[in-house]
Structure 1
Amino acid sequence: MHLGGHRTDGSSRKRFPFLSRLLRFVFIGKLSQVMYIRVKKLSTRLLNICVASLCKAKQLGKAEAVIVDGVRLGILPDVVTYNTLIDAYCRFVGLDAAYSILYRMKEAGISPDVITYNSLMAGATRKRLLKQSLDLFDYMLREATFNIMINGLCKNGYVDNAFGLFRNVCHAFVPRLMTYNILIDGLCKAGRLHTARGIIKELQESGPEPNAITYNIMLKFYFRSKQYDQGLQLMSEIRSKGFTFDGFAYCTVMSALIKTGRIKEANACAEQMMNNGIELDLVSYNTLMYLYCKECNFGAAFKLLDEIQKGGLECDQYTHTILISGLCKAGHIVEAQQHFNKMNSLGFSNLAALNCLIDGLCKHGRIDQAMELFEAMEIKDSITYTSLVHNLCKARRFLCASKLMLTCFRGGMRVLRCTQRAVLDGLRNSGFRNEARKLQSKIQLARMLN
């Protein structure tokens, strides 16, 4: 069924001038540009505004396309997004189409809420499907209510209460896999990975079979808590059960492997991701860029930049910063500066890249050039000051480091305590004891004020 051919009159444009301008961008294929520019400010909220506007205009096909564009930009839909779609499908297409959205929600790991089921019940009532309305109401009481309660308790830090409620639910009826996944996610967020792993073992022995979402929840938190060995062991278990990873899981695993220095294994993981036909998004490309830079394979890194652009994606500041950081660490300072100039000409935020350049210049003996770049910077942060002060200490330029650190304190920023100690020790050991005492008193004053 073609969903994109309906027309609307001009009344909505008069009433919603912002949305009408936004929709004009959507209709001429410029949505990705709008979302890219405003992603930092609105993110999923902007996505939901677009989807709701298109659904009101009965442009459901375009609403679906907006969601796809959002995912490509790293903006993931939430329960509000899906609820908007469900309500629109109930009104303009049919109940079966609305049910298909419910299944997509579950596959994406998003729990339906009361609004989801209310929309479905309203749709069934409009079609005079009394039995389906009653079935939905019963299902909501049994499924959604407990899920909402368990999820709410976990989010507010009452994990023990959520766990107790879950055990009581088990006595009344057999929970569905979604309920298990909500509890596992809550336990992981509370740092109780061992208990969460026990729940998965229960599922494997007697409950519903765990799915890819179940394992991905555990995998994500193992790597976030730097329990890399457990994460890799779970990854092998997932593979042995025949589950396939999505792009997010592959990127999580690759990042963990790179951080632990297992570059060969990270390469194998990247190769497997591409062989499995996973469509790469910007996060995947950035992870691959990080991998290539770690290997000093800059030919592949620059080739990847071209591939991103040819694929219709827009590189973000992290893509360029990863490349600049890799070039600096490998000693290719001139190439790093050239790419920074290119990045700057494209209008990207450049503070992180500048910090990488300053550190790279210092580490390769160009500290005066780093100082010139520092003086020319309009915006500086604590990382900028800490990096430069640390490198000045390494070059035994303790008086210069002391003055720079005082400037940092006056600006209301902080320098790492280990760097403060390095400056003080350097001044004392170099015979500048009076300067060291003055600096010590100013550090103490700055600590009191902050």
Structure 2
Amino acid sequence: MLSTRLLNICITSFCKSRDLAKAEAVIVDGIRLDILPDVVTYNALVDAYCRIVGLDAAYSILQRMREAGITPDVVTYNSLIAGAARRCLLSRVLDFFDEMLRAGIRPDVWSYNTLMHCFFKVGKPDEANAIFRDIILSDFLPCATTFNIMLNGLCKNGYINNALMLFRNLEHHGFVPQLVTCNILINGLCKARRLRAARKILRELGESGIEPNSITYTTVMKCCLMSKQYQQGLEIMSLMKNKGYAFDGFSYCTIISALVKTGRMEEANSYIEEMMTNGIELDLVSYNTLINWYCKEGDLETAYKLLHEIEKGGLECDKYTHTIIINGLCKAGNIECALRHLEYMCTMGFDSNVVAFNCLIDGLCKSGQIDRAIKLFESMEVRDSFAYTSLVCNLCKVKRYKCAAKLLLSCLKDGMKVLRSARRAVLDGLRGSGLIHEANKLKLELRMAQILH
């Protein structure tokens, strides 16, 4: 037997599959069969139009509702508020909220949750905190989502200490955190490089009887590796493997990179093989990590094979990919190939790649081709302090102190910083060569450049 409930189920299904034309057709057919839509029917449409078409199209449905004698309710406005919040349109969120109040529709906890979330998204944590206080002090019952939004918003806006204090305060008042809540806090702590605090939450999570998932372990593992706590990171990795959790391509490459940095080449190679065996589809970041690993190993042939594999697979190499190759060629002493690769890189539209130029300048200097390094340096459109420092130090090594002094002064006048050791090397070199007057003059000019910049 046909009913409005069945009508709503059909419309909701079409809306979920993003087929709004069929959803609208079902409403027309229902009316023709004397099955009239209700507020639930139109609420499904409002939500779908917010997600698929836009806010204005969704808002226009309210007029259709009124023409059909149906009054919008809190769910209707919650959908509009959520749609505006997804697009970070705070003014529209506040307009919908105000309209709902003027219509005599009482907001519920989800209305306030969405408003609070939007304030956090647009960087207004004080306003979000005020909403949170209103929820706590009113007769609304905050749900786990309320606390999760608050903790996530505080973490993302840099208030990690406040998030931790709130978490402890909630625990003190009997709130039992779920896994998603702990994951939010652990992620925030890890991004703030608060590894010890993150590991403490992880340990407490296990003690409470809640089993951490792969997201929990991966977050802490990556933080350990990024903080150069390689042993701790690898221990978590081993724990994940024992529990049967699968790694994604990024996790594999993070592990491989850490193993390389700690000199554990055989283990790194075994993870590369395991990754390939498991059929992990690599993204560009993963490819770059592997190319870097092979370059450090001196296996440039395999690095180039991976480069061709990227291009053949439809991915576009970025400037970091080519820079890794150039650096690997320079380390191997193959300067001519590195220069040719730089030219190829420029023809591909990657201009102003300072890091690639820096690698070549350093490589040319170490191979005794200081004049070519200077020429390459002068051809750079953009230079950084590393380029200046590298060339200054290498000029000092070949005892070309006057040239180094001129370059050093030029760097400081451009408002860039050079390592103190480089300055000292130039001054000591001038004095050691008997150029006392030049050294004193340079020292005075350096001091003036510092004052001016």
TM, length-normalised to structure 1: 0.69
Which of 227, 241, 258 lines up with 2:229 in the alignment? 227
Residues 396, 404 of structure 2: 8 Å contact kept: yes
Within 2, Cα distance between the matches of 1:307 and 1:80? 41
Within 2, Cα distance between the matches of 1:390 and 1:283? 33
Are 2:428 and 1:425 aligned? yes
Note the residue ranges of structure 2 that are not aligned, 5 or more in a row: 1-13, 22-48, 55-81, 88-112, 119-138
Residues 114, 140 of structure 1: 8 Å contact kept: no
Q: Give how far 1:83 is off.
A: 4.9
Within 1, Cα distance between the matches of 2:443 and 2:141? 64
Which of 239, 242, 255 lines up with 1:240 in the alignment? 242
Q: Give how far 1:323 is off.
A: 0.2
Are 2:151 and 1:154 aligned? no
Residues 114, 145 of structure 1: 8 Å contact kept: no
Within 2, Cα distance between the matches of 1:54 and 1:390? 58
Which of 358, 361, 371 lines up with 2:361 in the alignment? 358
Are 2:174 and 1:172 aligned? yes
Q: Give how far 1:263 is off.
A: 2.8
Aligned to 1:69: none
Are 2:168 and 1:163 aligned? no
Which of 441, 444, 451 lines up with 1:438 in the alignment? 441
Which of 341, 344, 357 lines up with 1:342 in the alignment? 344
Are 2:402 and 1:405 aligned? no
Residues 117, 149 of structure 2: 8 Å contact kept: no
Query: Cα deviation per residue 1:315-356 (whole Å; 9 max; x = unaligned)?
Result: 000000000011001101111111111111111133221111
Q: Give how far 1:403 is off.
A: 1.0
Q: Give how far 1:115 is off.
A: 6.9
Which of 252, 266, 270 lines up with 2:272 in the alignment? 270
Return closer, same or farther for 1:334/1:160 CA change in 2, 3 Å cut-off: closer
Query: Cα deviation per residue 1:170-218 (whole Å; 9 max; x = unaligned)?
Result: 3434221110011112333344322221221122122421011111111
Are 2:371 and 1:374 aligned? no
Number of residue-to-residue matches in the alignment? 339
Query: Cα deviation per residue 1:80-121 (whole Å; 9 max; x = unaligned)?
Result: 99957xxxxxxxxxxxxxxxxxxxxxxxxxxxx727999xxx
Q: Give how far 1:278 is off.
A: 1.5
Within 2, Cα distance between the matches of 1:335 and 1:304? 17
Identify the structure with bigger relative contact order (alpha carbons < 8 Å, sequence gap 6+): 1
Q: Which amino acid aligns with 1:393?
A: C
Which of 36, 51, 56 lines up with 2:53 in the alignment? 56
Q: Which amino acid aligns with 2:211?
A: E
Return closer, same or farther for 1:399/1:295 CA change in 2, 3 Å cut-off: same
Return closer, same or farther for 1:398/1:261 CA change in 2, 3 Å cut-off: farther
Q: Give how far 1:279 is off.
A: 1.1
Within 2, Cα distance between the matches of 1:252 and 1:81? 37
Return closer, same or farther for 1:437/1:164 CA change in 2, 3 Å cut-off: same
Within 2, Cα distance between the matches of 1:389 and 1:283? 33
Note the residue ranges of structure 1 that are not aligned, 5 or more in a row: 8-51, 58-78, 85-112, 119-137
Return closer, same or farther for 1:80/1:377 CA change in 2, 3 Å cut-off: farther
Secondary structure of the corresponding residue to residue 396 of structure 1: coil
The root-mean-square deviation of aligned C-alpha atoms, in Å, is 3.1
Q: Which amino acid aligns with 1:218?
A: V
Return closer, same or farther for 1:271/1:139 CA change in 2, 3 Å cut-off: farther
Within 1, Cα distance between the matches of 2:237 and 2:260? 15
Are 2:252 and 1:255 aligned? no
Aligned to 2:210: 208
Within 1, Cα distance between the matches of 2:395 and 2:84? 51
* Higher mean displacement: 157-166 or 427-436: 157-166
Residues 83, 115 of structure 1: 8 Å contact kept: no
Are 2:185 and 1:183 aligned? yes
Q: Which amino acid aligns with 1:293?
A: C
Residues 289, 322 of structure 1: 8 Å contact kept: yes
Q: Which amino acid aligns with 1:388?
A: L
Query: Cα deviation per residue 1:40-90 (whole Å; 9 max; x = unaligned)?
Result: xxxxxxxxxxxx999328xxxxxxxxxxxxxxxxxxxxx999957xxxxxx
Return closer, same or farther for 1:259/1:80 CA change in 2, 3 Å cut-off: farther
Within 1, Cα distance between the matches of 2:313 and 2:451? 53
Q: Which amino acid aligns with 1:392?
A: L
Return closer, same or farther for 1:6/1:341 CA change in 2, 3 Å cut-off: farther
Within 2, Cα distance between the matches of 1:407 and 1:168? 56
Return closer, same or farther for 1:213/1:139 CA change in 2, 3 Å cut-off: farther
Residues 117, 140 of structure 1: 8 Å contact kept: no
Percent identity between the aligned chains?
Answer: 56
Which of 328, 331, 351 lines up with 1:329 in the alignment? 331
Q: Which amino acid aligns with 1:114?
A: T
Within 1, Cα distance between the matches of 2:358 and 2:50? 42
Q: Which amino acid aligns with 2:249?
A: G
TM, length-normalised to structure 2: 0.68
Aligned to 1:318: 320
Return closer, same or farther for 1:164/1:404 CA change in 2, 3 Å cut-off: closer
Residues 85, 115 of structure 2: 8 Å contact kept: no
Query: Cα deviation per residue 1:214-252 (whole Å; 9 max; x = unaligned)?
Result: 111111211222111211122111211111111222222
Aligned to 1:18: none
Within 2, Cα distance between the matches of 1:409 and 1:366? 25
Within 1, Cα distance between the matches of 2:389 and 2:141? 55
Within 2, Cα distance between the matches of 1:173 and 1:4? 38
Aligned to 1:16: none
Q: Which amino acid aligns with 1:55?
A: I
